[in-house]
Structure 1
C-alpha cells in the first residue's frame, strides 16, 4: 500500500489540488462578477479533468439505463413467453374441440344415413393384449346399452358389447380371436365368417372356386342376429388358393382404426 502511495503521490497530490481549486473557484464565483487570472488558470487546468469526469459519468449513466432497459426487456419477454404458452394451449384445446366435433358429426351423419337407432359413447379404456382385445365405453344400461349390441364407427364395424353395467360397457373387438362375424364379399356375394387375428381378420369358409380379389370390400351379411346387413368390415389384403382343400385363405384389413378409437355408436333396437 505504501509503495502504491509513493508511486502515485504526484498524481494524487495534483488531483487534490485541482479539487481544492474547484471548491475555491465555486466559492468565489458567487461573490465576484469578474474572473481573476488565478481562476482562469484553474479553469484551464481543470477542463481536461472535467471533460473526463463528464464522459465517464455519461458512460456510467448510459450503462445504467441500458441495464434497466435490459431488465425491463427480460421481464417483458418472460411475460410474452407465458402469454404465448397460454395461447398455444388454448389453440390446441380449440383444435381438439374442432376435431371432436368433426368426429361426432361423422357419427351423426352415419346414423342418419343408415336410419339406425344408436347411443353415442366414448372409449375410456382399452385392453389390447395377446389374449384379449376389448375397449371400455362410458355408457351402460342406464343409456340403453346391453350385452350383445353391435358397436360401429363411420369407418366400419368395431365389435359387440359383452358386458354392461349401469354406467359402463365392455366391447369385444372384431379383431379378438373369440370374435366371429357372418360376412360376405360385397362384389361377388361370397359368404364366409370373419374371425379376429390380432391386427387383422380372416375370412373363413370362402370356397376355393369363389372369386375373391385383393381390394374387395367385405361387409356384414346380416345373419347371426348381431350386426345389421351391409356394415363395412374391411378390405381384402391377401388371397391364397392352395392346390388342395375346400377353402381359400383370405386376409382382411379392418376398416376401423382400432388404435385411434375415441367415439363410437352402440346400435340399439328400436322401440316397438
Structure 2
C-alpha cells in the first residue's frame, strides 16, 4: 500500500487538488450569481476532467447494472430450469397413469365378458429361466386367492396360480414346460393340448387330417375345470404333417406378450 502511494503520490495530489478546487468553486457558485475570471478559468480547465469523471461514473454504473441484470437473469434461468424439470416429471407421471388406466380398462372389459368375479393384481417378479416360466403377483391368501385359480390379461390366458402366500402368489405361465391346457382351434373347433415349450407352445394330439392354418387362434376348451371356455390362448405359427403318423406338428405363440406384462386379473370361483 505504501509503495502504491509513493508511486502515484503526484497523481493523488493532483486529483485531490482538483477536487478541492471543484468543491470550492461549487460552494462559491451557491453563494453568488456572477462568476469571476478565475472561476471561468477553473471551469475551462476542469471541464475535461469533469467530463471524464462523469463518463467513468456512467461506465461504472452501467457495468454494475449489467452485472446485476446478469445475476438476476441467471437466477431466473435456474428457477425456470428447475420448474421445467418438475413439469416434465409430472407429465411423465401423468402419462404413466394414463397408460396404466388404459391397460386396466382393457383388462376389465375382457374380464366382464367372463361373467366371473376377478381380482386385479400387479406383476412384482418373474422367473423366465430355461427351466421355469413363472411370475409373482402382489395378491395372496389375504385377498382370497388359492392355488389353481386362472390368471388372465387383456390379450388372453397368462397361466394359473400354483403357490400362495399371504400377500403374494406364484403364477405358472402357459409357456412353462409343465403347463398343459386343453385347447381348440377357434375356426375349425379342432381339439388338442397346448403345452409350454419355453418361449412358445405346441399343440399336441391335433389329428393329421385336421384343418389347421397359420395364424389360426387357439382358445381354451373349458375341459379340465381350470380355465373358462373360449379364452384366447395362442396363435399358430407353423403346422406340418409328416408322411406317416396320426398327429400334426403344430407350433404356437402365446397371445400375451409376457415381456411387457404389468397387470393381470385372477379369476375367482364360479360364475357370478
TM-score relative to the length of structure 1: 0.89
Partner of 2:43: 43
Query: Paired residue for 2:102?
Result: 102
Query: Is residue 23 of structure 1 aligned with residue 29 of structure 2?
Result: no
Aligned pair count reads 269
RMSD of equivalent CA atoms: 2.4
Structure 2 residue 92 is the aligned partner of structure 1 residue 112? no
Give the Cα separation in 1 of the matches to 2:119 and 2:270: 12
Matching residue of 1:82: 82
Contact 1:218/1:234 (8 A) holds in 2: yes
Alignment correspondent of 1:207: 207
Tell me, yes or no, if the aligned pair for 1:18 and 1:42 is still in contact at 8 Å: no
What's the CA shift for 1:220?
Answer: 0.9
Secondary structure of the residue aligned to 2:113 is helix
CA distance in structure 2 between the aligned counterparts of 1:119 and 1:12, rounded to whole angstroms: 91
Match of 1:133 in 2: 133
Deviations for 1:111-139, whole angstroms, at most 9, x for unmatched residues?
22221221222212111222211111111
* Matches of 1:83 and 1:12, distance apart in 2: 53
Q: Which residue of 2 aligns with 1:57?
A: 57
* Equivalent residue runs for 1:227-238 within 5 Å: 227-238=227-238
Q: Matches of 1:239 and 1:150 in 2, distance apart?
A: 28
1:223 is matched with 223
Q: Does residue 157 of structure 1 match 2:154?
A: no
Whether 1:257 and 2:261 are equivalent positions in the alignment is no
Q: Match of 2:72?
A: 72
Q: What are the superposed Cα offsets for residues 50-102 of structure 1, whole Å, 9 maximum, x if unpaired?
A: 11211221121111111111211211222222222222222222222222222
Secondary structure at the counterpart of residue 21 of structure 1? helix
- Provide the secondary structure at the position in 1 that maps to 2:209: coil
- Cα 1:45–1:168 change in 2 (3 A) is same
Structure 2 portions without partners, runs of 5+: none
Deviation at 1:260, TM superposition (A): 1.6
Q: How does 1:192-203 map to 2 (within 5 A)?
A: 192-203=192-203
Whole-Å Cα distance in 1 between the matches of residues 204 and 47 of structure 2? Answer: 107
Query: How far apart, in 2, do the equivalents of 1:141 and 1:111 lie?
Result: 21
Matches within 5 A, 1:167-206: 167-206=167-206
Distance in 2 between residues matched to 1:57 and 1:171, nearest whole Å: 81
Cα distance, 1:12 vs structure 2: 6.8
TM-score by length of 2: 0.89
CA distance in 1, matches of 2:203, 2:242: 15
For structure 1, which segment, 197-206 or 146-155, has the greater mean C-alpha deviation from structure 2 after superposition? 197-206
Alignment partner of 2:162: what SS?
Answer: strand
| Structure-2 separation of matches of 1:154 and 1:13 | 93
Structure 1, gaps ≥5 residues long:
none
Aligned counterpart, 2:270: 270
The SS at the match of 1:189 is: coil
CA 1:191–1:270: 2 relative to 1, 3 Å:
closer
Q: Please name the residue that 1:242 is paired with.
A: 242
Q: Distance in 1 between matches of 2:108 and 2:138?
A: 18
Which is worse superposed, 103-112 or 56-65? 103-112
Query: After alignment, is 151-160 or 42-51 more displaced?
Result: 42-51
